[in-house]
Amino acid sequence: MCVPEIFLDANATTPVLPEISQIMQRLCCNQFGNPSSSHLAGAMPKRIIADARKAAAQVFNVVDGRFIFNSGATEGINTAVLSVLAEYTGQNRKNAILLYGATEHKAVPEALKHWNHVLGVNAELLAIPVLADGALDIQFIAKHAPNALILCTMGANNETGVIQDLQAIARAIGGKDKQLPWLVDSVQVLGKVPLDLGALPIDYATFSAHKLYGPKGTGCLFIREGAPYTPLQHGGGQEHGERGGTENVAGIAALARIFDWLLDPQQSPLQAMDTLAGYREELLLALKNLFPNLVLNQPYPESLPTTINFSVPGFESGKIIAIFDSAGIRVSAGSACSKGKPQSFVLKAMGLPDWQCEGAIRLSFGPASSAEFIQMAAARINAMADRLKNLDEAERSGLWVPDPLNVGFAVYADETSKSLYYVGNRDRVKTWLNSYFSTDEWKQQLLSEGEHKFADFTLKISETGDFCISHEKLGRALSFNDSGVILSSEYLENVETIAPEIVSSGEYSFLDVREPLETCMQEAPKFGAGGWVSQRADWCRLALEFEGNTANQPVVAICRSGGRSLSVAALVRAAGGPNVLSCEGGVTDVVHFLAAKESVI
Q: What is the phi/psi pair of residue 436, to 5°?
A: -100, -35
Q: Describe the chain by its helix, strand, coil percentages, rounded to 5.
A: 35, 20, 45
User: Given the DSSP bridges, would you call strands 182-185 and 361-364 parallel, antiparallel or unpaired?
Assistant: unpaired
333: helix, strand or coil: strand
Alpha helices in 530-562 (DSSP H): 539-545
Burial of 403 (0-12, 13-18, 19+ CB in 10 A): middle
Tell me the C-alpha distance between 499 and 554, whole Å.
14
The beta strand positions in 48-87, using DSSP E, are 65-70
Residue 50 has, within 13 A of its CA and on its CB side, a CA count of 8
Q: What does the H/E/C string look like for 39-52?
A: CHHHHHHHHHHHHH
Angle at 206 between CA 201 and CA 209, to 5 degrees: 140
- The overall longest dimension of the chain from CA atoms, in Å, is 88
Residue type, 256: A
Burial of 454 (0-12, 13-18, 19+ CB in 10 A): middle
Q: Which residues have C-beta within 8 Å of that of residue 580, sequence separation ≥ 6?
A: 495, 511, 546, 555, 556, 557, 568, 569, 572, 573
Tell me the C-alpha distance between 282 and 286, whole Å.
7
- Which residue, 168, 152, 173, 171, is CA-closest to 103? 152
Q: Which residues have C-beta within 8 Å of that of residue 389, sequence separation ≥ 6?
A: none
Q: Indicate which residues carry an active-site annotation.
A: 337
Q: What does the H/E/C string look like for 103-142?
A: CCCCHHHHHHHHHHHHCCCCCEEEEECECCCCCECHHHHH
